Each structure stands twice: as structure tokens, then as C-alpha cells.
Amino acid sequence: DPQSFSAKLDVPEALTFDDVLLRPKESRVEPDEADMSTRVSKNVELQVPVLSAAMDTVTEGNMAIEMARQGGLGVLHQNMDVDRMVAEIERVKRADELVIRDVVTARPDQTVREVDAMMQQEGVSGAPVVDDDDEVLGIISGTDIRPYLEVGESDAVREAMTDEVITAGEDVTAREALELMYEHKIERVPIVDAENRLVGLVTMQGILQRREYDDAARDEDGALRCGAAVGPFEQDRAVAADEAGADVVFIDCAHAHNLNVVESAREIKSRVEADVVVGNIGTQEAAEDLVEFADGLKVGIGPGSICTTRVVSGAGMPQITAVTEVADVASRHDVPVIADGGIRYSGDAIKAIAAGADAVMLGSYFAGTDEAPGRVITMNGKKYKQYRGMGSVGAMSSGGGDRYLKDVEEDEEEEYVPEGVEAATPYKGSVESELHQLVGGMKSGMGYVGAETIPEFKQRSEFVRVSSAGHQESHPHDVMITDEAPNYRPDE
């Protein structure tokens, strides 16, 4: 049929972060008072609306633990085999558990010397003493052992241990455990079942550590929350992640509006208990096809710092427009939206929320921190860490190709058509201080708009359009920066 190609040039405009600014409004909100709590998916709430990207140079166990402790969420990448992913999920879930399950125990007939060596090796300062049926007979600590070692004796643990043990049942709360510890001047309470068999241990150190993180993202049992990414067709990985305790499974694909992906995602959703977030998408039509079953939608087609999707494929959606399109549909179905990629500054993050996102995901922002995988490298006297796209040759050749719907395993490396680059990013120190700057800046944005909560901010915020002159005016200009600010590193 004859077609009007010139009509194609009647194009809608799509905008991104630098095209807009938040319109300042009358406000009584002090930034410190802003409440940043949000949802990343239908059933998972966070105190801090920030996620670390599912990339092999950003999120493994250490990052996920720190993100959750600080109130956000880490999403483990999928470039590791399923067994390793299960182990990483379990590590995160156990990191701050009130009841330690992997307890180091001693036997009554071991010598105090053996137990002393074992405790040093395991890095613990005491151990419950159990028999072959795990029944608790006593508890032994460094203090019990020391006198024996001082006089050169190596008696059996049975002699040295404290045999009047204070134990508690599995349903003990942190407060109850602390009260027992104060009352009996002890530092650890073995947790036992009805037959007095050891099932866990609560320690004073563990309780104090949990208290340090009062905004931490925790599940109903008090364990840290953890996200895990799976390829769009990796049903088995999704089920394994779910069984290992992941709170949110992220079905991660560069183009989740591919209908095979939609079907597979629907099936994964029917097979797992965890919330399922599907992405990435960038249009209203994609959102409509996914809202029916997804617990959350993730937005971003090509905005990422290491992405070449738009230049390689010619397809993409500038991120602010993409988020607004998806959020229009998602908000009608009460499905949370995550804006993923392209966020360089805290101002970008809060603009994404104004555009309708409930939370933001960042890769490059966190890749330079201590908690990201990989070591610090020095080039020309400056410190960096590696950061690479999951669609880069390096990441795809270590197993990440299916995010890009590419059957890379059988291909030769030179046959890859990558959609990302491998790069270095400045070394930054701890996630804690980076998050502090990011969230502090976002709260500042809420102050300028006069909104105390994220839902209120989404309603109340308005954008103005920025010209290129306006954009130049926004950044420091006509000066030479002499000291780097902790929240402003001009593009290098």
C-alpha cells in the first residue's frame, strides 16, 4: 500500500534529564524531614528509593549487603552460575540475621587447645557445646579456656565449659535476647528447639550491629532484602533465586517488549513466590503488556553510561519521556516503576521520581565504590575501578549475552555485536558516603518542591524545559574548579 513516509517526520519530542528542571515551589518542607520511603515492587518497601544495578562490575554480595543495610536494594547480576548466585543470595540474607544459623560448635570431649584453635580460625569468641544429637550441654568462651592454657593444661572441653546455659526458643525477639544477656551477664544465647537441640545462636555483637542500621531493608524475619537478576528465559535460575530467598526477581532484558520475553516472564511470575520486576521497557505500549502480571516495571532503553544500544541499534527512548510513559500506565494499575540508567547526579535521580518513578537504579554511580566487585587500579596517578556494560564483549563472553537476546555461547568473540563498552570509573570510597550524597541531594529537591513524601512529590512536582543556554548556566561556569565537591565530579 502507498504510504506517507513524510508523515513519519511528524515526530513527538522525547526528553531526558538535562532537558528539564524542577519548578521551585512554595514550601514548608525542610530537606532533612523528607520521607524517602517507597516501593520497588508491589510487596517490597524500602526506606531509601535507590537500587544498585545488576551488573558484574557493580552488584555481588558485598554491594547487596551494604545497599540493604543503608535502606536501598542491591540486585545481584546474572553473570555467575546458578550455584554461586544461590550462595550470594544466602550470604546477603544471613548477613545481619538476628539468629545465626551456621553456628560454630564444640564437642565435650575435644581438648580446650583444639577448641581454642578452632575458634580463632572461625573468628568467633565462644561456642555452644553439643553432643552427637546437637543437644546443648554447655557453652565455652575464650574466658573459660584461658586459665587452662595459661597453666599449660589441655583438659577436655567438658571440664572448662559453663554447663548452666541460658537458652531461648526460636521466636525470641532482639529485645528479649538482650534482656537475657543483661540479666545473666552473657554475650551469646543459644537458640534451641523443644528437645533442647541447637538450632541457632544470638550474639550481643549481632544485635548491636543491627541497631546501627535502623533504615535497613529487611524482610518479615528481619533478614536483609536482596534482589537477583535472571535472564528472560532462565526459568530455572529464577526458581533457584526464589528458593534461595531473593525478595525480588528482576527479569532483565534489554528489550522486554519482545513478546517471547513477555510470555516467558509471565511464566516465571507464575512459578515464583518473590515479587517479579520486569524490564527494561521505555514505552506505554510495553507497560500495557506487562502491568497485568508484573509486580514492578523497570525503565531504560539505552540511557546508561556504558550503553551503546542507541547508537548501535538506532532505537531508544530518552529517559524522562520513557519514565513518564511507563508511569502513566503503571500508576493506573498501582505497579511501581524503577528508572534505570543515565543518572549521574542526585538531581537526575529526583527528576526521575518527578517523572513518575518510585525508585532509581544506578550503575556507574556505584561502580567506583569499595563494595563493587573488582580492585582499584591506578592510571596516571588517579585511582579507578573497572566498569563495563553487560552488553559489552567482555561481559557477554563471560555469560551475559541473553540480556541482549543474543545467542553468544556458540559465537566467536569477534562475531559479537556488542551494545555496551568496557570502561574505568573514578574510585570513590564507600557506598555509604555515596548514598548519603545521593539521597541528601534528592531530599533537597523535595524541599524545593515542597513535598514531604515521595507520593506527594510525584503529584506536586512540575518540570520546566531547559535550553542549552539554561543547561550551561546550571553547571558551574566561568570559573576553574579548584576542589572537587563530594557530589559534583564534572565529566572527565
* 348 and 331 Cβ atoms separated by less than 8 Å: no
- Going by the annotation, the residues of the binding site are 252-254, 300-302, 304-305, 307, 340-342, 363-364, 387-391, 419, 473-475
Known catalytic residue at 146: no
Print burial letters for 334-356: b (CB count within 10 Å at least 16), e (below 16). Answer: ebbbbbbbbbbbbbbbbbbbbbb
Site residues, ligand XMP (CB under 6 A): 53, 55, 254, 280, 300, 302, 304-307, 309, 340-343, 361-365, 389-392, 419-420
Contact by Cβ (8 Å): 180, 166: yes
**What are the beta bridge partners of residue 423?**
387
* CA dist., res. 234 & res. 149, Å (int): 55
Residue with smaller CB distance to ligand XMP, 162 or 283: 283
Amino acid at 173: T
The x, y and z cell numbers of residue 150, run together, are 595459661
Helix (H, G, I), strand (E, B) or coil at 452: coil
Query: Minimum CB separation from ligand XMP for residue 395, in Å?
Result: 7
What span, in angstroms and rounded, lies between the C-alpha atoms of 271 and 266? 9
Q: Are 161 and 167 in contact (CB under 8 A)?
A: no
Nearest distance from residue 389's CB to ligand XMP, in Å?
Answer: 2
Q: CB–CB of 108/137 below 8 Å?
A: yes
Is 239 or 287 the residue whose CB approaches ligand XMP more closely?
Answer: 287
Distance, in Å, from the CA atom of 449 to the CA atom of 458, rounded to the nearest integer, reads: 10
Numbered residues of the known binding site for IMP: 305, 340-342, 363-364, 387-391, 419
Three-state DSSP state, 204? helix
Distances (CA, A) of 180 to 124, 127, 128, 166: 20, 17, 16, 8
Interatomic CA distance for residues 257 and 278, integer angstroms: 10
Please identify, using beta-carbon distances, which residue of 190 and 418 lies nearer to ligand XMP.
Answer: 418
How far apart are CB 343 and ligand XMP at their closest, in Å?
A: 6
Q: In angstroms, what is the minimal distance from the CB of 397 to ligand XMP?
A: 13
According to DSSP, the residues that pair with 333 across neighbouring strands are none
Per the DSSP assignment, residues forming a β-bridge with 338 are 298, 359
| Alpha-carbon separation of residue 207 from 98, 108, 219, 329 (angstroms) | 7, 28, 16, 43
What order of strands is seen across the sheet that includes strand 382-388? 376-379, 382-388, 422-426
Q: How many CB atoms lie within 10 A of CB 169?
A: 11
Instruction: Give the angle 472-447-17 at the CA atoms, nearest 5°.
Output: 35
The answer to whether residue 307 is catalytic is yes
Separation CA 35–CA 32 (nearest Å): 8
Which parts are annotated binding residues for K(+)? 302, 304, 307, 473-475
Closer CB to ligand XMP, 90 or 419, in the complex: 419
Q: Which residue of the set 188, 307, 344, 375 is catalytic?
A: 307
Grid-cell match 526521575, residue found: 352
Ordered DSSP codes for 218-231:
B-TTSPBP-EEEE-
Shortest Cβ contact with ligand XMP: which residue?
A: 420
Out of 210, 403, 460, 489, the active site residue is 403
Residues with catalytic function: 307, 403
